[in-house]
Each structure stands twice: as structure tokens, then as C-alpha cells.
Chains A and B, each alone.
Chain A
Amino acid sequence: MNSVESVCVAGLVAIVQIGAVLVGGPLLLGVMRKVRSRLEGRRGAPIHQPLLDLRKLITKQRLRPFEASWVFGFGPVILVATVAAVAAISPLATTRPPLGQSSDFFAIIFVLLLGSVFLALGALDTGTPFGGMGSSRAMTVGALAEPALLVAILAMSIPAHTSNLPALVRIGLAHPVVIASPARLLALGSFLVVILAESGRLPVDNPSTHLELTMIHEAMVLEYAGPDLGLTMLGESMRLVLLLGLLVNLLVPWGVADRPGALAFVIGLVALVGKVLLAGVAIAVFEVFSAKLRLFRLPELLAGGFILAVLGAVTAVVSR
């Protein structure tokens, strides 16, 4: 294979992975809402409703508070851009994504965090009380969740001798016993808690609340309108799909393409869709049966996640 051809293939893989996350994000949101409404005894909106919402939002007026600076408009763009960049280099459908050698787990997490930080800055930028309140809460949750995530990644990296994400997935595929090791399982448990916290799902935050005083994430986007709001919605749902995709590929990597070839890639894509769908439905079912935690009890949950990660790291070091 000559170099031009391999560059084309790499570009195609990246575009397909970004496209899958782009379309999959809103659709997963629709599926999760559908499952929730079914379990609540309602019929629920059609699964493609978030896509209809997006189509409407991009044609609406771009209304911004006149006190807001460029940071406000930058937030949603950065959010979508960072998620798309990470989607291109992550092992989603294949363990050999283009630029896979640059997809270090630590780096990916910090790039994704950049989107959250800019959303929080954008909310502060408006000068409204609810925006500031949402930012402060989101950053509190983030400050508690991030250490847990970092230690969890450490616990997964020690046995594998690398924090390269595609390599972590490949090792799981080649030696399934690594996945069943306490270090990996404890770390993935911690990762799940962090995903719920970072994407604003129950029991950390209620994504369908109308009460400003109980909001964490929603309070930050109260001032966004039209295309800005659409980008924020899109970015948030894309990030959930991306994080779930990484989680399922680290937990059950089977199906992901491990060798070059179009057929293997397509199978990997189908397997990814199936696994993420299952994970999303599981989260939606869990959400129906759980209530939002009081804000002051959140540190307990997140500290629990941190303890899982620390235990994972300790077992990884001891059993080395």
C-alpha cells in the first residue's frame, strides 16, 4: 500500500468514526428518552426527535446576551470540535485508528475536559446568577470526578505498560484475562461513575429538570439559543456516545476491527453501535429507578468512584 492510499484510508476511517458519533449522539439520546418514557407508562417522542430538534435549532435566530464576549460563542464550538477530534483518533470501530499512536488516554480525557471548561466559562460570561451557579457546580463535580478518572487510567495502564488507548483495547482483545483482572474491572467501575457525572445523567444531575435551583449542567446552557444551543446539545450527546464507546471497548472489546480491511471495519462499526446501544439502554433503565442525589451527597458517590480507582491501581501495582 503506498503512502497516498494509506492517507486516504486513514482519512476515511476518521470521517466515518466522526460521522458515527455525530449521528449516534442525538439518536442515542432519543433511544434513552424513549426507554425512559416507555418505563414511565408513556409513549414518548420518536427516536429521531433530537435530530428534528437540531434541524430546527440551526435555522433559528442566533441570540446572544449583549454583555457576552467571544468566550460565550466559543463554548459550543470547542465542545463539538474537541469531541470530533477525539472521535477521529479513538479506537471506536477499529483498534488501529489513524493517528492512533497519539491517542493517549490521559491526553484524550484532558482534551474532552476542554469542552466542559469552555461551557463553564461561557456560562460565567453571561453574568446571570444561574449561569454562575451552574458553572460552579459543574466545576465542583468535575474537580471530584477528574482525580478518580486519572487514577482509573493509571490502574489500567500499569499492567499494560502503556496508556495508549488503542493498545489498551488490543491487549484486552488478545488477552481477555486482562479484562477480568481486578485492576481493569475496578478502574472501569470508576470510569462509569465519572461518565455519569461528566455527562450530567442521574443520579448526579437530572437532564430533564425544569427547576433552575436543582440544575447542574442545564443551568450552564440556559442562555444559549438557536444554533449555539443546537451545538451544545449535539456536543453533549456526542461526548456521551464517545465515552460509552470507549467504556464498552475496554470492557467487551470483541467485534472491534483488529486487522485492516473494509469488512472488519464495518463489522467493528456494527458491533460498536450494538454495544453502545445496550449501554445506553442500561443507563436509561437505571435512571428510571434512581433519584437525583442531593448536591451535598455527590462527593460521597464520586469519592466511591475514586476509591474504586485507587483500589484498582493498588492491585495493579501489587500484582505486577
Chain B
Amino acid sequence: MTIRSVLQAITHPRSATEDLAPSPPATPDFAEPLHGSLQLRHVDAGSCNGCELEVASAFGPVYDVERFGTRLVASPRHADALLVTGPVTKNMVGPLEKTFLAMPEPRIVIALGDCARDCGIFRGGYGVEGAVGDILPVDVQIPGCPPHPAAIIEALRGLTGQ
């Protein structure tokens, strides 16, 4: 790769990223203190990993939700929002609550996918404690089984306002 082609890739990127609606959906009041910056801590509370694939895809080159000021972080201490996928299994109730309490206020909880919202097809399972809303106060819900990356991005853009 020559220097010229590197410079060209920076100035005129042949990006795989798709265009989206120019303006984000309206920002709810609880997202005002974010000021256009959203750090997410993702917790898999018992998901089938379908939602994880879509989250990974939302952060990949095609959807690139990072361009709207969102990042996944490695510690709940760095996070503004808790991104929960899957129904909350009995073994994950404790870790989920601990993660929530380890986050600095103001903290937001996002229930991603039908399982996180109302247990989905796992409702009534012997290992399932309940939906995310039964354990933590949920602020944002993203429906779908699994939700489309565009739906995830729309919800996150509503929080960052970018």
C-alpha cells in the first residue's frame, strides 16, 4: 500500500457505512446529561446470542454506531447505560444487580430484544427469574427478536442526540 493510497483512504474513504436519517429521534429528558456522549456496558443476562450478533453488527463497519458518539466500554464504572440482552436467568440476577450498582449516576438501563423486555420464548423456563424490568428500572426498550441493527442505532441515537 503506497502512501498516496493511505492518504486517499483517509480523505476519500470508500466506506462500507450506510447513510441514515440525518436527524436523530427526540432525546428523552433523562438522556440530557449525556451531552452527546454515551458509554455502554453490555451484560448478557442469559441471551441466545442472537442479540449479541446484532449489537456486534451495529458497531461494525456497515452500521458504525460509533459515529454517533456511542462506545462499548470494559467497565461499569465507565458506563452511562447498561445494555442488557436476554431473559434474566437465576444465576445472572446477582451479577446484573452488582453491575448496575457499580455504575456512577445518572445511569440508564436499556433492555435490548424481546427476551430482555418480557422473556420472549423463554417465558416460564425453570432457569428464568424474569424480564429485565422485574430486576432493574428499565428506561429504554428495543423490541425485536433479534432487533435489527438499524433499530438499535435509532434507540442509541435518541440517547446521544447526534
Contacts and interface: CB of A to CB of B under 8 A. Distances in A.
Interface in A23-74: 35, 37-46, 49, 52-53, 55-56, 59-63
Interface in B32-72: 33-37, 39, 61, 64, 66-69, 71-72
Nearest to B73: A210
A63 B77 contact: yes
A42 B61 contact: yes
Interface in A180-218: 209-212, 215, 218
Given A42-B61, A60-B106, A52 B15 contact: no
A37 B39 CA distance: 18
Given A39-B10, A56-B80, A210-B73, A49 B37 contact: yes
A222 interface: yes
Nearest to A33: B66
Contact of A225 (B36, B64, B69, B77): B77
Q: Which label, helix, strand, loop or mixed, suits the secondary structure of the B interface?
A: loop
Contacts of A62: 104
Given A55-B35, A61-B105, A41 B66 contact: no
A129 to B, nearest CB: 13
Given A63-B77, A222-B77, A223-B77, A41 B15 contact: yes
Nearest to B6: A285
B129 to A, nearest CB: 26
Contacts of A224: 77-78
Contacts of A11: none
Contact of B67 (A42, A229, A285): A42
Contact of B74 (A35, A61, A222, A225): A222
A61 B104 contact: yes
Contacts of A44: 64, 66-67
Contact of B9 (A39, A60, A225): A39
A215 B61 CA distance: 24
Nearest to B162: A46
A142 interface: no
A286 to B, nearest CB: 10
Contact of B33 (A53, A56, A222, A229): A56
Contacts of B10: 35, 38-39, 281, 285
A226 interface: yes
Q: Which label, helix, strand, loop or mixed, suits the secondary structure of the A interface?
A: loop
A61 B72 CA distance: 19
Interface in B74-106: 74-75, 77-78, 80, 102-106
B150 to A, nearest CB: 15
Contacts of B61: 40-42
A209 B82 CA distance: 19
B4 interface: no
A59 B33 contact: yes
Interface residues of A, number: 36
Given A59-B33, A222-B75, A38 B9 contact: yes
Contact of A229 (B15, B16, B77): B77
B16 A225 contact: no
Contacts of A209: 74
Contacts of B6: 39, 285
A287 to B, nearest CB: 12
A229 B77 CA distance: 9
B69 A43 contact: no
Contacts of A223: 75, 77
Nearest to A226: B104
Contacts of A226: 104
A234 to B, nearest CB: 14
A249 B34 CA distance: 38
18 contacts: A38-B15, A41-B13, A41-B14, A42-B17, A42-B64, A45-B68, A52-B69, A56-B36, A56-B37, A60-B105, A60-B106, A61-B105, A211-B74, A222-B74, A222-B77, A222-B78, A225-B103, A285-B6
Interface of B: 1, 6, 9-10, 13-17, 33-37, 39, 61, 64, 66-69, 71-75, 77-78, 80, 102-106, 162
Given A41-B14, A222-B74, A289-B1, 19 more contacts: A37-B67, A39-B9, A39-B13, A40-B61, A41-B13, A42-B66, A42-B67, A43-B13, A45-B66, A45-B67, A52-B37, A53-B39, A60-B33, A60-B106, A61-B105, A63-B102, A222-B77, A225-B103, A281-B10
Q: What are the nearest 3 A-B pairs in CB distance?
A: A225-B77, A61-B104, A63-B104
